[in-house]
A = this chain, B = another copy of it.
């Protein structure tokens, strides 16, 4: 018995582990802005990619074009991000360094976007957080600009 610490020999025996961790769920809110709504959308897409890896390690080596269509503006933002996520999740596994929306139609809710980047490669690119899904949860699109700033807020599941 260690009188000073109040510990005896048996106190140092460690029981076996009988626990585990389940159902880790998480989300993060992306907040992006720009001088135009188009720029805010581009920045929001980049916010998502920058969450997946460190941008410093990503180079522009190829360009791909995506299209998104929807029935309203929030749907457009959702599908735009979802298309980007799809571009990353399957062939060409593109991690983007830059997004340039070449068609931004807020009447017919249609986006065409050039996506500049390279194939994601574990080892070359630090693995950030996996983005599991885009959500409509608490989505905000500020298209009447405050201080000449257009803004979007999107929560993504990670």
Contacts and interface: CB of A to CB of B under 8 A. Distances in A.
A53 B89 CA distance: 32
Contacts of A97: 14
Contacts of A25: 26-28
A21 B28 contact: yes
Contact-size category for A: 35 or more
A88 interface: no
A50 B19 contact: yes
Nearest to A13: B98
Secondary structure at chain A's binding surface: helix, strand, loop or mixed? strand
Interface of A: 5-7, 11-15, 17-34, 39-40, 42-44, 46-47, 50-51, 60-63, 97-98, 116, 153, 155
23 contacts: A5-B61, A7-B63, A7-B116, A11-B116, A14-B98, A15-B39, A15-B42, A15-B43, A15-B98, A17-B46, A18-B33, A18-B39, A18-B43, A19-B32, A19-B33, A19-B43, A19-B46, A19-B47, A21-B30, A21-B47, A22-B28, A22-B30, A26-B27
